[in-house]
Copies of this chain bind each other. A is one copy, B any other.
Amino acid sequence: MKCKYCSRRGEVTIPYARLTLCKEHFIEFIQRKVLRTIKRYNLIKPGDKILVAVSGGKDSITLLQLLSEIRKTINYDLYVLHIDLGIGEYSKSSRTLVESYTKQLGLPIIILELKKILGYTISEIAKKLKRPPCSICGIIKRYLFNATAIELKATALATGHNLDDIATFILKEFFAQNLTGIWKLQPYNESYKDIVAARIKPLYETYEEEIRKYAEFMKLPYMQEKCPYYKPTTLDNVLKQKIKEVEEGFPGITIGLIRRFIKNIDKYPRPKTSFLKCRICGLASSGEKCSYCKLTEKLLGEPMGYKTREYIKSLIKELK
């Protein structure tokens, strides 16, 4: 079959859009789609300072490339954040890859090395605390993302969550009937005072499979292997797989869900919009101490939030 827009051979078929495209027009299709998402939900404005979290996987590398490209259309500053979790060769390769690609794009990068900040890698912390590495990794990454965006005074933190991720999280919250939790799954989440940074998800309307194809066609350098702690049997991964299977039979059902969900958001019960301040580090917390301060206190006998913020501040100073 031919490309819809030119005489070249079609290389990708996009069932939900009933489109067959050549490589070049597919690349254009994705770039336009992501720009449209950014404009539709007002994710980035001229003059913004965007911090993009880049692990080195296909989603975050694609996001980085696109955000770098889109600066030609909307004029904003772009900073890269990479966290070196210290998960053996996997983290080493990821870091090298992200560093070199960021350099190639000529962007400033902040690298937070867990071993330097806490004296331990994710694997070591999990072992010491006898807790699953993924739950610890979640707490630490969330904290470092937020703290870095705050210290940088970034307008927003951008993450590479794709359409399949979002649909998975929405469905997971629905299974748990956590209807207020669903609010955080919008393309844009507001900041709160100087303790929660705004978050944006520019790949919100882009299927994982589209991102994979795009990264392949653009020959983007990304980590092919998964984190060694990845398990296909977690609820998240099982739900994501099932959503993909439903999408196969009903092309467009996932993007349809997401679109209707955003239109409907006011019908869901609103979460509380106020946060407490952690009395150690001063960032958002659900109680007296934030989960990062609690976790690091258990690990080291001392809550590390404040010191971590000071360390990030010093790295940012060096940037300038």
Residues of A at the B interface (CB closer than 8 Å) are 171, 174-177, 179, 233, 235, 238-239, 242, 245-246, 249-250, 253, 256-257, 260-261, 263-264, 267-269
Given contact pairs A174-B174, A267-B269, a sample of 13 additional A-B residue pairs in the complex whose CB atoms are under 8 Å apart? A171-B174, A176-B260, A177-B264, A179-B264, A179-B267, A233-B249, A235-B249, A235-B250, A238-B245, A242-B242, A242-B245, A242-B246, A267-B268
SS of A interface (majority): helix
A170 shortest CB reach to chain B, Å = 9
Q: How far is the CA of A238 from the CA of B242 in the complex (A)?
A: 10
Say whether, besides A177-B261, A179-B267, A267-B269, A246 and B238 are in contact (CB < 8 Å). Answer: yes
Give how many copies assemble into the complex.
2
Q: Which residue of B lies closest to A167 (CB)?
A: B175
* Residue from A177, A239, A260, A263 with most neighbouring chain B CB atoms (10 Å): A177
**Is B256's CB under 8 angstroms from A175's CB?**
yes
Q: How far is the CA of A175 from the CA of B167 in the complex (A)?
A: 10
* Residue from A171, A249, A256, A261 with most neighbouring chain B CB atoms (10 Å): A249
Name the contact of A263 in the complex, choosing from B171, B177, B256, B264 (C-beta under 8 A). B177
Q: How far is the CA of A238 from the CA of B250 in the complex (A)?
A: 10
Name the contact of A246 in the complex, choosing from B239, B260, B261 (C-beta under 8 A). B239
Collect the chain B residues with CB atoms within 8 Å of residue A239's CB.
246
Name the contact of A175 in the complex, choosing from B176, B249, B253, B269 (C-beta under 8 A). B253
A133 shortest CB reach to chain B, Å = 20
**Is B249's CB under 8 angstroms from A238's CB?**
yes
Q: How far is the CA of A284 from the CA of B171 in the complex (A)?
A: 34
Q: Which residue of B lies closest to A266 (CB)?
A: B269
A311 shortest CB reach to chain B, Å = 40
26 contacts between A and B (CB under 8 A): A171-B174, A174-B174, A174-B257, A175-B253, A175-B256, A175-B257, A176-B260, A177-B257, A177-B260, A177-B261, A177-B263, A177-B264, A179-B264, A179-B267, A233-B249, A235-B249, A235-B253, A238-B245, A238-B249, A238-B250, A239-B246, A242-B242, A242-B245, A242-B246, A267-B268, A267-B269
